[in-house]
Amino acid sequence: MILLDGKATALSIQNDLRLKIASSLANGFRPPGLVAVLVGEDPASHAYVRNKALACKNVGIYTEVQHEPGSIPEGQLIEIVQQHCERPEIDGIIVQLPLPKSIDPDNILNAILPTKDVDGFTVTNSGKLMLGMPTLAPATPLGIVRLLQHYQIATDGKHVVVVGRSRTVGTPVALILSQNSLYANATVTLCHSHTVDLRHYTQSADILIVAAGKHHLIAAADVKAGTVVIDVGIHAVSDSSKKMGFRYEGDVNFAEVAPLCSHITPVPGGVGPMTIAMLLSNTVDSYQHSLKQS
């Protein structure tokens, strides 16, 4: 079994980005800029945004985090997003999901200018992705594809089974891997909460991508020997032996499943760091596009 080391792969991507940015600064250009909008007090969202901001700082992306209370009216949040879009020194704007129930995420996400939509969640960029046009694509699916590529795991003609149909992971990764492009061409089955006999599908996967948000959904009996397993889930599980009082586990029961796999991502240290690396990569792409226009 080979561990797909997202942490190391992400670090090498971040090193390349750092060099790109340093060379741009040496040529007299401004640094790239990212604004992260964070609404409410969800501790996981706070941790994600903190990690994104830290990674930006490490590669030389100027970052602002705008934190607003969960009670903010939708209209006010839209105005905040629109104001950041008008700033020429800002290349990327993300709004951390989930948003409070009182806010329609589509209204907020579509207030982002598609050229600054480094999460790839706007209708425009989702539509371009669906049509196979060049665009800013969501970071987690990009991170998964990059990790497969890095470990030279072929996708062409393989059966990829995706569990979970979220807008952030499941739906876009199924789309990307089914397209007729260089690192895709898989036969993709997209399973979700209404799938009957999930095991029937997961057992036939060559590559199994689990993004269901359910702790230990996938056990040894769900996976055939030799499968490549990508675990997108992350759950804090109480553990008194840890300083923090908890440890992280995924949607896959790693201890049971790992011995069966040809490759598997650990949690933490698998998909998570790749998501952040691809967000930075999208921000630098958007930055370079903006410099070319000016």
Q: Which residues bind ligand GUN (CB under 6 A)?
A: 94-97, 119, 139-140, 168, 275
CA distance linking residue 193 with residue 159, whole number of Å: 20
The alpha helices in 93-251, defined as continuous H runs, are: 105-109, 123-130, 139-150, 170-178, 198-202
Annotate 155-196 with DSSP letters as a single string.
-TT-EEEEE---TTTHHHHHHHHHSSSTT---EEEEE-TT-S
Task: Produce one character per residue of 79-115: b if its CB has 16 or more CB atoms within 10 Å, e if not.
Answer: ebbeebbeeeebbbbbbbbebbeebeeeebbbbbbbb
Q: Which residue bears the tokens 């149909």?
A: 165
Whether residue 41 contacts residue 70, with contact meaning beta carbons closer than 8 Å, is answered with yes
From the list 14, 91, 96, 231, the catalytic residue is 96
φ and ψ of 234, to 5 deg? -145, 125
- Of 137 and 223, which has the nearer Cβ to ligand GUN? 137
Residue 231's H or E segment, with its range, is: strand 228-231
- Of 144 and 161, which has the nearer Cβ to ligand GUN? 144
- Of 201 and 272, which has the nearer Cβ to ligand GUN? 272
- The verdict on whether 119 is a catalytic residue reads yes
CA distance linking residue 18 with residue 34, whole number of Å: 15
- The verdict on whether 14 is a catalytic residue reads no
Asked if residue 172 has a cis previous peptide bond (ω within 30° of 0), the answer is no
- Of 95 and 163, which has the nearer Cβ to ligand GUN? 95
- Give the shortest CB-12-to-ligand GUN separation in angstroms: 21
- Give the shortest CB-119-to-ligand GUN separation in angstroms: 5
- Of 52 and 263, which has the nearer Cβ to ligand GUN? 52
Give the residue nearest to ligand GUN (CB): 97
- Give the shortest CB-96-to-ligand GUN separation in angstroms: 5
From the list 14, 116, 117, 119, the catalytic residue is 119
246-249/207-210 β-pairing: unpaired
- The verdict on whether 96 is a catalytic residue reads yes
Whether residue 138 contacts residue 113, with contact meaning beta carbons closer than 8 Å, is answered with no
Task: Produce one character per residue of 7-20: b if its CB has 16 or more CB atoms within 10 Å, e if not.
Answer: eebbeebbeebbeb
- Of 80 and 95, which has the nearer Cβ to ligand GUN? 95
User: Which positions are catalytic?
Assistant: 52, 96, 119
